[in-house]
Structure 1
């Protein structure tokens, strides 16, 4: 459930890091010793003389957290329980509601709902602010990581009632989420769009991502893959090594994939392509958006800089800082920023920040929405001093995320209050499950491909769904219903397909869901129309590729 904005690229032990830092000698050591002595003195005075009883451990944790707020927005501290929970997201499953979150300035921001998890099912979105959980406030001085874990994690099948504030929606939204076992798979979909085009969706870079990706790519190649769409939208990152390994499967030779630069050479590292990849030839399109961060940006940046892939979508998050996880003696963990990473062309994609002003940093996505950036590429201003060249001489920019080669605005044409309410109360999912259970024997007689091509959600089915919504207190609106009807029908069909055919899967893929919904996705549709440019790009023909803003 915890946000993992780190790129786990180094495996130095805590002893090596602390030894190199604390015993470097000279004035720095003297200043550090004075500071440590002062802190210890104050802590002892409080413990021995303060008028009331105090929890010294809590004071220490609080002081560490406040100290780190003076640094960059991604250096962070987790107590022992929080550290265990944080690690579980990338290497094991857990029971909870399935969101990656960021807690800053007493506010809980949803970074991304985990794909396939219960929060995604009810419509929780990136950028949502969690105000209350089961009536308890998660906004204000009492909001801590420990409290978030306590309120959001729990026994599988138990309910979590949340009040959400969403950018662009005037009224707060109420959601009821059933806790479940959070999927540990990170490749969500891998299927053939047609006889030549394959689609792979990667939701995060966890311990098993590279293995899952290779399996998916191998399967698609066996069925005729000639062109690839790699979807990294909403992918918040994870292990750097898994990201560079995936890039290596698509980039030939020993080309540079990414490099890091720290305070000194201890944390400097170059990562190059080193293996014969499975798909080094053939056009590639990478899908990104404002939720694509960290390791996702490493993959997109490497492919873009080597002119290996056409990047389609919206500007990525802009995280170019590397954190090293350092396990402390009591089981707590410090995630210390030790370097910046750079794409092969030399650009840093870290968006601007000021030390100690993380609140401004965390408001960046809201500012993008308010400035109109999600809807118009003209709203994005580039620093001419941060201009770089790709391997083939195309212009790209650093200083704040990966700008796509082909911009596609956010599609809000289906959005309505009625749709949000259907999501928040699980109406579509519950109706689909009810329908699937009642009609499973008949539906299972056909292959999914036949279902995909021929099944239609009828007016009678929609009427039944609307009745379920009315019983749940959601009043239908003709205007809202007309606006959201296509996505309601598609979501219903997708969920039914997922329940009937997806539950038999052992590979963690949700192909049925994506095959129904992707045709309504404007970024996906645009990508399929851009393969002529992707093919020209691969061949080194840039004459038709006037796609990077100059």
Structure 2
């Protein structure tokens, strides 16, 4: 589902990958499709024409052709004429695409990264076979079941395919550990591994909770409900819900999360399609876990589809203060249709609308290529850095429950705009990230300091661990070795952000995800704005005041 990444776990404030938003936001249900009743003759003529041409090409063309590949290509080009989100997934890719929204999978339970074509363990997952066998962060996987994976130019998909397999099956991993000259062999029995979509949930202070949801997968609501209940029991009275970079997923999981915040029977979202077959309305209906406490929702240009439905509903009902930047603008509903050969068609059947009547979908009348460039154009015209660069048509003005003005026309505009951090908005910083230099350096830093880190508590680490100037220079030197030419001025500009990121990555290896987010918090501009709003009570005031 998401665009291919070299890292298999969340990157801090990474650039938005457009394809992650294109395929998300689906309705569940049986296949309701039947032959067209509007123009059956035209459909039949088109089908026969395509069949005839494909037959001629397969039989008469001067060179041998793969008719199935040609058919797949034609289908994809056909769908491009409809909208940017109707997609076709070949049978061989369908399982991988579906995995994005699964709540678990069969495997060994290890997060890894590819550093210069070497598969390196970032972290064994708690309770998984890898952790139980004693695998450690920094272990390098040389071979899987006797086949080399190091130096083979594999992608993460290739490595996933080798590590995953049926529950109860055995996989043999050849590892090389830092400080040891001889490889070690681990025989792991694959087991069911949770595929969490709630990345982290913890208390920032005695009253303020933070929950980050990365996507709306099969198990998201259950994970969220458990996290919310735990934080409530720990004393949470205010909450920051982080939907940044969340590309969507299953609509019903997002609406169930919304129901935890919205009291009474109030509209959450409605859909409008051709005729009334796909028209629907979803309302809050249960007594939620957090219907009264102060709530801030973080969004950005990577928040799409189901996450926009959730954010839009909370904004329209004046239930939450939205902080960040305008969301992606994906408001088309896809119905998944399994075809006879195991491939899948995800066909747009309706549009999402917020309770006030706003269409979430941004325009796409200029074609897929122009649509794909839209995020880049936002940056070019300064929208990521200046709120007044965002312009809305007066006729797309809507009102929230308390009379505040909000706008349609594509995406959800937050109540409080926070520009991207200009200190890290430079090419040198981006190239260090893209080359995986920062993550590799942090992992080596963790391994160098591991003995002393094992004697520290997380609190002691937070107070005492610092990244020195010498280490930053070493980072730059490592980058130069990997082809990232050193830029001294840009390094100085991004030094503070790099220090925090390195410290956070070391904390993650030593203490887990919660420690990573706790360290990153001080450099997180959107989160800091959210915490200020909660502290001074401006969330309540802002949500009660009509605005123009």
Give the TM-score normalised by structure 1: 0.78
Assess if the C-alpha contact under 8 Å between 1:414 and 1:486 holds in 2: no
Aligned residue number for residue 60 of structure 1:
71
1:175: which partner in 2? none
* 1:264 maps to 2:275: yes
Does 411-420 or 225-234 show the bigger shift? 411-420
Corresponding residue to 1:381 among 371, 391, 395: 391
SS of the residue corresponding to residue 40 of structure 1 reads: helix
Q: 2:439: which partner in 1?
A: 429
- Output one character per residue of 1:458-489: Cα deviation in whole Å (capped at 9) or x when no partner: 44544554554455565544322321111121
Q: Would the aligned equivalents of 1:288 and 1:311 in 2 still touch at CA under 8 Å?
A: yes
Q: Does 1:393 align with 2:398?
A: no
- 1:5 aligned to 2:8? no
Structure-2 change in CA distance of 1:77 and 1:348 (3 Å): same
Specify the alignment match of 1:365 in structure 2. 375
Residue equivalent to 1:341 = 352
Match among 440, 458, 468 for residue 450 of structure 2: 440
| Mapped pair 1:196 → 2:214 | no
Q: Matched residue of 1:530: which SS?
A: helix
Q: Distance in 2 between matches of 1:214 and 1:349?
A: 26
Which structure has more RCO (C-alpha within 8 Å, separation ≥ 6)?
1
Cα distance change, pair 183–192 in 1 and its aligned pair in 2 (3 A)? same
- CA deviation vs aligned residue, 1:474-507 (integer Å, no higher than 9, x gap): 55443223211111211121111111111xxxxx
Tell me how far 1:196 sits from its aligned partner.
1.2
Alpha-carbon distance in structure 2 between the residues aligned to 1:23 and 1:319 = 27
Q: What is the alpha-carbon distance in structure 2 between the residues aligned to residue 454 and residue 157 of structure 1?
A: 41
Number of the residue aligned with 2:96: 85
Which residue number corresponds to residue 517 of structure 1?
A: 520
Distance apart, 1:270 and its partner CA: 1.0
SS of 1:518's equivalent? Answer: helix
Give the CA deviation at 1:420: 3.2
Q: Which residue of 1 aligns with 2:128?
A: none
Q: What is residue 235 of structure 1 aligned with on the other side?
A: 246
User: Contact 2:201–2:211 (CA<8 Å) still a contact in 1?
Assistant: yes
Measured against aligned partners, the alpha-carbon deviations of 1:504-545 in whole angstroms (never above 9, x if no partner) come to xxxxxx21111111211211111111122212356xx327xx
Query: Equivalent residue for 2:138?
Result: none
* Cα drift, residue 322 of structure 1: 0.1
- Measure how far apart 1:343 and its partner are: 0.5
Identify the residue that residue 217 of structure 1 maps to in structure 2: 228
Which whole-Å CA distance do the structure 1 matches of 2:287 and 2:301 have between them? 31
Query: Residue in 2 aligned with 1:131?
Result: none
Judged with a 3 Å threshold, the aligned counterparts in structure 2 of structure 1 residues 384 and 63 are, in CA distance, closer, same or farther, namely same
Q: Which residue of 1 aligns with 2:505?
A: 495
Conservation of the 8 A alpha-carbon contact between 2:28 and 2:250: no
Moved more, 201-210 or 442-451: 442-451
Deviation at 1:258, TM superposition (A): 0.5
State the TM-score, normalizing by the size of structure 2: 0.78
Q: CA deviation at 1:241?
A: 0.8
CA contact (8 A) 2:123 2:509 kept: no
| Counterpart secondary structure, 1:224 | coil
Structure-2 separation of matches of 1:227 and 1:418: 38
Shift of residue 457, structure 1, vs aligned partner: 2.5
Backbone CA RMSD of aligned residues: 3.0
Are 1:153 and 2:189 matched, yes or no? no
Q: Is the 8 Å Cα contact of residues 23 and 87 (structure 2) preserved in structure 1?
A: no
Structure 2 residue runs of 5 or longer lacking an equivalent are: 3-19, 114-121, 125-150, 163-191
Distance 1:135 1:303, change over 3 A: same
Shift of the alpha carbon at 1:387?
A: 1.1
SS in 1 for 2:158: coil
